[in-house]
């Protein structure tokens, strides 16, 4: 174990104090990180845990997105925008159209589209700086800070989404618990996260594109997300291991990283000009040339591996839809009525212990 990075004291999900090193000596932003895995539930935790000042630095508008809220070149933005449409239609098919809350709403593009579709929308962001593009460019209602500190009314939202934001939150477990209380009975919660137990993750190690330390503070698996949702009184109604937005490219970039090329070079090449690393930070000309040479081959390989991870239900990212019902709400307030599915002993059996 890396002695310079003592393991976390306690798992926020299951309470275990026993951890093992999954990855160590990950160098990012002139700092070195490790990822520890809880032996009780499999939750991964980035360590050392960035403090609020470092998080603010990471998410400053000038380093994470440009002043207009953009992150990628126009063709990539257009593709992602089209995929957002399908995402919102799916949410609309599973939840009553009413009030939507997007936690970690980023640029607010999904919220703006949801608003055009007839939703009443609100977003939550880290601080005023990260909320500025969605407020200024799109005129959206964006609150800032911890979800539990904002003061939303209980049972007031029809849909709440954590779209690749939960892993970024320093209070991730508490945020899901708070969200469960904010949902109306029958309301829908969508969580989309990188899958720590995915085929991509296991194949790629520290080269896994979706590891993204230190931006990703927690590293969830399908199983521990479902455990968290059950303990919050929510019933999983849909689980998806196929994501055209994240999984094929995740394999492409992970395979290139495994080849020893400059980390996430292709991804950085797709960023808008102001965010693209400059000079030596972008890597050598040889890395760029080899990336272009290998791209057709890793592209073909990614199609095969993406199909395989769907068949194995080990997608690089996973989308989980959970619903709040009056019966489940009652179980939250009356622990004696909780089903065995949310008990730790049942969870450990699912893990094969």
Of 68-82, 93-107, 136-150, 217-231, which gets the smallest average pLDDT?
A: 68-82
Domains observed in the chain? 19-348 (3.40.50.150)
Q: How far apart are CA 241 and CA 207, in angstroms?
A: 20
Residue 36 Ramachandran class (φ > 0 left, ψ -120 to 50 alpha, else beta): beta
Q: Which of 147, 107, 160, 101 is nearest to 129 (CA)?
A: 107
pTM score above 0.95:
no
Q: How far apart are CA 257 and CA 265, in angstroms?
A: 8
Q: What is the pLDDT of residues 234-257, one digit of tens each?
A: 999 999 999 999 999 999 999 999
Contact 157, 99 (CB under 8 A): yes
For residue 332, count other CB atoms closer than 10 A to its CB: 17
3-state secondary structure 226-270: HHHHHHCCCEEEEEECCCCCCHHHHHHHHHHHHCCCCCCHHHHHC
Q: How far apart are CA 124 and CA 108, in angstroms?
A: 10
Which pLDDT does position 64 carry in this prediction? 63
**Arithmetic mean of pLDDT, 63-82:** 78
Residue 81 scores a pLDDT above 90: no
Q: What is the pLDDT of residues 82-127, one digit of tens each?
A: 888 999 999 999 999 999 999 999 989 999 999 999 999 999 999 8
Sign, Cα dihedral of 327, 331, 334, 338: positive
Confidence band for 326, pLDDT divided at 50, 70 and 90: low
Which pLDDT does position 63 carry in this prediction? 58
């Amino acid at each position: 174990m890396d002695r310079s990075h003592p393991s976390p004291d306690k798992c926020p999900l299951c309470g275990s104090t026993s951890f093992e090193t999954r990855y160590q000596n990950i160098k990012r932003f002139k700092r070195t990180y490790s990822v520890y895995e809880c032996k009780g539930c499999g939750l991964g935790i980035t360590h050392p845990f960035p403090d609020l000042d470092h998080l603010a630095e990471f998410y400053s508008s000038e380093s994470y997105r440009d002043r207009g809220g953009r992150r990628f070149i126009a063709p990539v933005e257009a593709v992602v925008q089209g995929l957002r449409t399908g995402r919102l239609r799916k949410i609309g098919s599973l939840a009553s159209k009413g009030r939507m809350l997007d936690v970690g709403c980023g640029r607010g593009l999904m919220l703006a589209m949801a608003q055009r579709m007839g939703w009443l929308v609100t977003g939550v962001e880290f601080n005023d700086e990260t909320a500025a593009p969605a407020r200024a460019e799109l005129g959206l209602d964006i609150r800032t800070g911890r979800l539990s500190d904002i003061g939303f009314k209980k049972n007031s939202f029809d849909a709440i989404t954590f779209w690749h934001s939960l892993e970024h939150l320093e209070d991730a477990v508490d945020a899901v618990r708070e969200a469960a209380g904010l949902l109306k009975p029958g309301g829908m919660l969508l969580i989309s996260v990188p899958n720590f137990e995915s085929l991509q993750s296991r194949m790629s190690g520290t080269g896994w594109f979706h590891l993204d330390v230190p931006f990703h503070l927690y590293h969830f698996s399908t199983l521990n997300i479902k455990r968290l949702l059950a303990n919050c009184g929510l019933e999983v109604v849909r689980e998806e291991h196929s994501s055209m937005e994240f999984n094929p490219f995740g394999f492409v970039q992970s395979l290139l990283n495994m080849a020893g090329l400059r980390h996430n070079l292709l991804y950085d090449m797709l960023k808008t000009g102001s965010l693209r690393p400059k000079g030596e930070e972008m890597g050598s000309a040889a890395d760029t040339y080899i990336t272009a040479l290998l791209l057709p081959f890793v592209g073909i390989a990614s199609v095969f591996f993406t199909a395989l991870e769907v068949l194995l239900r080990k997608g690089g990212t996973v989308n989980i839809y959970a619903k709040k019902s009056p019966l489940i709400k009652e179980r939250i307030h009356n622990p004696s009525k909780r089903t065995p599915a949310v008990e730790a002993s049942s969870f450990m059996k699912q893990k094969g212990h």
